[in-house]
Amino acid sequence: MTEKEHSAPQHFIRNIIQEDFAGNRLQELVTRFPPEPNGYLHIGHAKSICLNFGLAREFGGRCHLRFDDTNPLNEDEVYVDSICRDVAWLGFDWGRHLYFASDYYEQLYQYAVELIKEDMAFVCSLSPEEIRHYRGTLTQPGTDSPYRTRGVEENLDLFRRMRQGEFSEGSHVLRAKIDMASSNLNMRDPVIFRILHARHHRTGDQWCIYPTYDFAHCLSDAQEGVTHSLCSQEFEDHRPLYDWFIEHLPVPARPKQIEFARMNLTYTVLSKRRLNRLVEEGHVDGWDDPRMPTLSGLRKRGYTPGAIRTFCDMIGVGKSESLVQMSMLEHALRDDLNYRAPRFMGVQDPLKVVILNYPQDIEEELEGINNPEDESMGTRSLPFSREIYIERDDFREDPPKKYFRLAPGREVRLRYAYFITCVDVVKDENGEIAELHCTYDPESRGGSSPDGRKVKGTLHWVSARHCLEAEFRLYDRLFTKADPTAEEKKGVDFVQYINPESLRVVAGCKVEPALRGIEPRTRLQFERKGYFCLEGDSGKEPLVFNMAVALKDTWAKIEKREQQGG
């Protein structure tokens, strides 16, 4: 790991682990990341991945990647592949510890048989609706199923026949016999096996009964020797049940479940349901749209695994549900890319500048530093000629206060090139500025003047004759509200708050020729603009760049304030 990782702050789960080691209750830490293969991973999952794999790495233990594939109805192999890819991309290695709950189906079946034999489980033949009624409500206890007193032999026979495929879906389920009066609904004789005549993506048609999450998860953990089973808070109510199975079955290990709070991020959504809608209804261009908070989207956007890991360290691990500001994620990215991204010059909205006293027929090569933060990244050559493009926004005919870029009569520096002074503004028939006429100071080659005079502004530029054509895709927050789901609670559909300017495609951009032939996905900084990532196939013009995040823009802030202040 070469990138600068923040030192991991103290949090309650790490404390528990340290205490377990100190108290000699723990020899080796074993954690697991247990996704269900029914969707794509997003930044919220990254928190769990970094926690589980990070802790294992920190304590010299191991972390398993286990797919909780207990529901064939909405699981698929394509998700397995994408999840593996995303976890690996984030920088974690599960080694040989890739597991599937479906690998344990036979063992799980045997555990269920065990429970029946001990009179701790029974086949219930109530319909789903009846089961719901018998369960009671939040404030009223449930009532025992009439099938609760079935004999062990009958239960054994029925359960075997369930497996045999003799019954239809919904006709019978296997339930743990716990306590219908429990104030914890999860303990009211929970279903542990149900009939599903569905083809499973890994076991095919081998099974027609499938274990439920509550039954499979804890026993899978135990089977793998997981020591600390970290999950999100909504499972806190399930812990008594988790412990119940562990206590009542002859399992090889006794994992400890610990819950932590989920994270939310401003200006986006993280629920599977909502993310799905964005894709289904075409509000975004697929799961890997660079505006999506999915790992595949962030990857396409130009995010680095290191930035995401740092971000996860920054937000910490606690028990209170948080709404983390997007600026934290953006900071983590800038911080990472500042040290690693090579610099280039690219003009988004070109304004031609003719340098009157620069000879028509010559051109020269100037030298640019690839990364001022890292000398080892070397230098590159920048062709310069009489006609160049600068950013239209870097010139004002009537400059506002504190504006120190180009204006009539003003002198500025062209980065790594020369000082130029604007001597004339040429307009077209509509009164629009068509081009600028400037003069340059031959003595200022490289960007500094021997007489020591200072210029306030430094502009990026490209040589008109040498530059490459490019398209910039500028991304902004996906929603106009920090918490679009809060608005939803007021009865407004969250899609109403999609930011219509979340994507701005800017054609006609000009970038420096050193960019010719760069690798797809290359992350770079366009100086004074932001961090970008080359999209798609490289080489062919126009080159397409996705903006990952803009550089901080103090001037934009000042200008906004000046305008508001009058």
Partner RNA sequence: UGGGGUGUAGCCAAGUGGUAAGGCAACGGGUUUUGGUCCCGUGAUUCGGGGGUUCAAAUCCUCCCACCCCAGCCA
By CB under 7 A, tell whether 525 contacts RNA.
yes
Cis peptide before 542 (omega within 30 of 0): yes
Q: Which residues contact 463 (CB under 8 A, 6 or more apart)?
A: 363, 382, 383, 384, 385, 387, 388, 512, 513
By CB under 7 A, tell whether 319 contacts RNA.
yes
Residue from 61, 225, 286, 316 in contact with RNA (CB under 7 A): 316
Q: What is the dihedral of CA 121, 125, 128, 133, to 10 degrees?
A: -80
Residue 429 CB, nearest approach to RNA (Å): 30
Residue 314 or residue 495: which is nearer to RNA going by CB?
314
Residue from 183, 357, 379, 381 in contact with RNA (CB under 7 A): 183
By CB under 7 A, tell whether 492 contacts RNA.
no
| Per-residue mark of binding to RNA, 105-124 (x: CB under 7 A) | --------------------
Span interacting with RNA, options 17-25, 322-330, 422-430, 502-510, rule CB under 7 A: 322-330
Structure-block tokens of residue 74: 């909405």
Q: What distance in Å separates the CA atoms of residue 225 and residue 239, rounded to the nearest whole number?
A: 18
Strand-pair partners of 124? 173
List Cα–Cα distances, 94 to 130, 134, 294, 427, in angstroms.
43, 43, 21, 63
Residue from 185, 253, 423, 434 in contact with RNA (CB under 7 A): 185
By CB under 7 A, tell whether 480 contacts RNA.
no
Q: Phi and psi dihedrals of 288, rounded to 5?
A: -105, 20
Q: What distance in Å separates the CA atoms of residue 24 and residue 22, rounded to the nearest whole number?
A: 5
Span interacting with RNA, options 86-94, 184-192, 284-292, 381-389, rule CB under 7 A: 184-192
Residue from 1, 2, 10, 428 in contact with RNA (CB under 7 A): 10
Residue 169 or residue 387: which is nearer to RNA going by CB?
169
By CB under 7 A, tell whether 102 contacts RNA.
no
Residue 428 CB, nearest approach to RNA (Å): 25
- DSSP of 311-352, one letter per residue? HHHHH---SS-EEE-HHHHHHHHHHHHHHHPPEE-EESSEEE
By CB under 7 A, tell whether 36 contacts RNA.
yes
By CB under 7 A, tell whether 562 contacts RNA.
no
Span interacting with RNA, options 114-122, 278-286, 463-471, 548-556, rule CB under 7 A: 548-556
CB 411 within 8 A of CB 419: yes
Please give the order of strands across the beta sheet that includes 98-100.
30-33, 62-67, 98-100
Residue 469 CB, nearest approach to RNA (Å): 22
Give the residue among 118, 170, 122 at the shortest CA–CA distance from 149: 122
Give the residue among 328, 332, 294, 340 at the shortest CA–CA distance from 310: 332
Identify residue 49 by its one-letter amino acid code. I
Residue 234 CB, nearest approach to RNA (Å): 4
Residue 475 CB, nearest approach to RNA (Å): 18
| Per-residue mark of binding to RNA, 274-313 (x: CB under 7 A) | ----------------------------------------
| Per-residue mark of binding to RNA, 392-431 (x: CB under 7 A) | ----------xxxx-------x-xx---------------
Structure-token match 């999915």, residue found:
294
Q: How many CB atoms lie within 10 A of CB 421?
A: 17
Q: Footprint of RNA on residues 326-365 (CB under 7 A)?
A: 327-328, 330-331, 334-335, 338, 343
Number of residues that bind RNA (CB under 7 A): 95
Q: Phi and psi dihedrals of 135, rounded to 5?
A: -70, -20
Q: How many CB atoms lie within 10 A of CB 404?
A: 13
Residue from 96, 489, 490, 540 in contact with RNA (CB under 7 A): 489
By CB under 7 A, tell whether 325 contacts RNA.
yes
- The kind and range of the H/E element at 239 are helix 239-248
List Cα–Cα distances, 414 to 150, 270, 346, 478, in angstroms.
87, 44, 13, 35
Residue 281 CB, nearest approach to RNA (Å): 20
Residue 71 or residue 546: which is nearer to RNA going by CB?
71
Give the residue among 230, 276, 222 at the shortest CA–CA distance from 250: 222
Q: What distance in Å separates the CA atoms of residue 462 and residue 77, rounded to the nearest whole number?
A: 48
By CB under 7 A, tell whether 373 contacts RNA.
yes
Residue 455 CB, nearest approach to RNA (Å): 8
Residue 27 or residue 199: which is nearer to RNA going by CB?
199
Active site residues: 36, 262, 272
Structure-token match 């009624």, residue found:
133
By CB under 7 A, tell whether 372 contacts RNA.
yes
Residue from 18, 164, 233, 496 in contact with RNA (CB under 7 A): 233
Q: Footprint of RNA on residues 70-89 (CB under 7 A)?
A: 70-71, 73-74
